[in-house]
Amino acid sequence: MFLSFLVSAALGAGVWFLYPPASPAPFLLFLFVLSFFRDFERPVPADPDALVSPADGRVTEITECEEPLYIQGPAVRIGIFLSVFNCHINRTPWESEVEYVRFTPGLFLDARHPDSGPKNQSNALGLKCPATGAKLLVRQVTGLIARRIICTAKPGDRLKRGERFGMIKFGSRTELYVPKDRLKSVDVRVGQAVYGASTIIGRLR
């Protein structure tokens, strides 16, 4: 997905070393951008009931709510804030089939703002487990700096747990909605750091 970017970045680094500018600022900016687009291989927990985090970041919210778009009922929303220093790859929390994809235009409030979830530009991904019928919704939400959402998943795709499906560029928010009656436990707390594909954030019943 990001091979062309990495190649151009590497070429840019070579040019910098051959012809270093008077100021180190361009090179520092290059390092920051390269760091932002890093993409790690992550071990995925073997627990068959485990929901893994859809993003790297810090849990800012665990709230009961109504989810009208896809789940269409009571749900638990787990909000994760991604700073500019986090890896921004989004991953599937559960082995599932993509049933629903919806992009919604909106504002670009700071992703830590309480209104950023409902008001900012976002992309919603509805996922259904073929074996159990359980539905999950993952929302990619832009921020003040992060204004470009990438989602490569489309209806009908089968995604493995922990599989990459997109990213949000330069700081953002990712939300996971789980039907309240299907959630056995929430295994994270507000303020906790989580890692996409590796951290168990809850379990389904």
Helix or strand run (H / E) with residue 22: none
Contact 133, 205 (CB under 8 A): no
Distance of alpha carbon 29 from alpha carbon 35, whole angstroms: 10
Distance of alpha carbon 94 from alpha carbon 50, whole angstroms: 8
Q: Is 172 a catalytic residue?
A: yes
Q: Which one is catalytic: 53, 116, 122, 172?
A: 172
Q: Helix, strand, coil proportions of the chain in percent (round to 5)?
A: 15, 40, 40
Q: Calculate the alpha carbon distances from 147 to 54, 132, 155, 170, 181 in Å.
A: 19, 35, 23, 8, 34
Tokens representing residue 124 in the block: 């919603």
Catalytic residues: 172
